[in-house]
Structure 1
Amino acid sequence: MAIALIAIVVLTVVTDKVPFNFVLLIVPIIFALILGHSLTKISTFVLAQFSSLMQSAGFMLLFAFLYFQMLTDSGMFDTIVTWITSKLKINAIVLIILTTVIGAFAILTGNFTPAYLVTFPMLMPLYERFNFDKGDAFIIAQTAMSAMCFIPWGIGMAYTASSAGLSATALSKAAIPWALCFIPVIIAQWFFFAWRHKKINGTFGEIEQTTESVQQKEATGLERPKLFWINVLFFIITMGALIYGIPPYLVFIVSTVVTAMINYPKDYGKIFAKVGPMYLNILVMLLAINMYQAVFNNTGMVDALSKSLMQYAPSFLLKYLSMILLALCTIIIYFVPFQIFNALYPIFITLGASFGVPAVAVIAPFVCNLSLATSVTPTNSSTYVGTGLLEIEPEAYTKRAMPIMTVTNLLVMLVALAFGVMKF
Structure 2
Amino acid sequence: MSLSLIGFITIIVITALLISGKVTPIVAMVLPPILGALIAGFGYSEIGGFFESGVSSVINVAIMFIFAIIFFGIMQDVGLFDPIINKLVSLSHGSIITVTVGTVVVAAIAQLDGSGASTFLITIPALLPLYKRLKMNPYLLLLLIAGSASIMNMLPWAGPLGRVASVLEMGVTELWKPLIPIQIFGMVLMLVLAVFLGMREKRRIVKAYGSLEAAAALEAEVEEKDEKYALEMANPHARPKLLWINALLALLVLGVLVSGIIPAGLAFMIGVSIALPINFREVKDQMERLRAHAPNALTMASIILAAGLFLGILNGTGMLEAIANDVVKVMPTAIGPFLHIIVGMLGVPFDLVLSTDAYYFALFPVVDQIAATYGVASISTGYAMIIGNIVGTFVSPLAPAVWLALGLAGLEMGRHLRYSLFWMWGLSVVLVLTAVLISLI
| Structure-2 change in CA distance of 1:369 and 1:300 (3 Å) | closer
Deviates more, 1:240-249 or 1:328-337: 328-337
| Equivalent in 50, 56, 59 of residue 54 of structure 1 | 59
Between the aligned partners of 2:24 and 2:116, the Cα distance in structure 1 is 29
User: Any conservation in 1 of the 2:71–2:271 contact (CA below 8 Å)?
Assistant: yes
| Equivalent in 125, 143, 161 of residue 151 of structure 2 | 143
- The residue correspondences of 1:382-393 to structure 2 (distance < 5 A) are none
What runs of 5+ residues in structure 2 fail to find an aligned partner? Answer: 1-5, 129-137, 206-214
Deviations 1:305-340 (A, max 9, x none): 210121011345446544433333452875342586
The sequence identity of aligned pairs, in percent, is 19
User: Any conservation in 1 of the 2:121–2:405 contact (CA below 8 Å)?
Assistant: yes
Deviation at 1:130, TM superposition (A): 0.4
**Matched AA of 2:346:** L
Deviates more, 1:338-347 or 1:265-274: 338-347
Q: Does 1:75 align with 2:79?
A: yes
Deviation at 1:195, TM superposition (A): 7.5
What runs of 5+ residues in structure 1 fail to find an aligned partner? Answer: 107-114, 353-358
Deviation at 1:390, TM superposition (A): 8.8
How many equivalent pairs are there?
A: 379
Secondary structure of 2:81's counterpart equals helix
Between the aligned partners of 1:232 and 1:178, the Cα distance in structure 2 is 22
Aligned counterpart, 1:280:
298
User: Any conservation in 1 of the 2:147–2:190 contact (CA below 8 Å)?
Assistant: no
- The residue correspondences of 1:193-232 to structure 2 (distance < 5 A) are 214-215=231-232, 217-218=233-234, 221-232=236-247
- The residue correspondences of 1:77-92 to structure 2 (distance < 5 A) are 77-85=81-89, 92=99
**Matched AA of 2:70:** L
Aligned counterpart, 1:16:
21
Between the aligned partners of 2:305 and 2:57, the Cα distance in structure 1 is 11
Between the aligned partners of 1:84 and 1:63, the Cα distance in structure 2 is 29
Deviation at 1:33, TM superposition (A): 1.0
User: Any conservation in 2 of the 1:65–1:279 contact (CA below 8 Å)?
Assistant: yes
Aligned counterpart, 2:135:
none
Between the aligned partners of 2:125 and 2:119, the Cα distance in structure 1 is 12
User: Any conservation in 1 of the 2:68–2:113 contact (CA below 8 Å)?
Assistant: no
| Equivalent in 291, 307, 324 of residue 309 of structure 2 | 291
Aligned counterpart, 1:44:
49
- The residue correspondences of 1:312-331 to structure 2 (distance < 5 A) are 312-315=330-333, 317-318=335-336, 320-330=338-348, 331=350
Considering only aligned residues, what root-mean-square deviation do their CA atoms show, in Å?
5.2
Deviation at 1:187, TM superposition (A): 3.6
Deviation at 1:93, TM superposition (A): 0.5
| Structure-2 change in CA distance of 1:411 and 1:182 (3 Å) | farther
Aligned counterpart, 2:127:
130
Deviation at 1:183, TM superposition (A): 6.0
Deviation at 1:260, TM superposition (A): 1.4
Aligned counterpart, 2:360:
337
Deviations 1:115-138 (A, max 9, x none): 544999789644430037678634
Deviation at 1:413, TM superposition (A): 5.7
Deviation at 1:279, TM superposition (A): 2.6
Between the aligned partners of 2:392 and 2:382, the Cα distance in structure 1 is 16
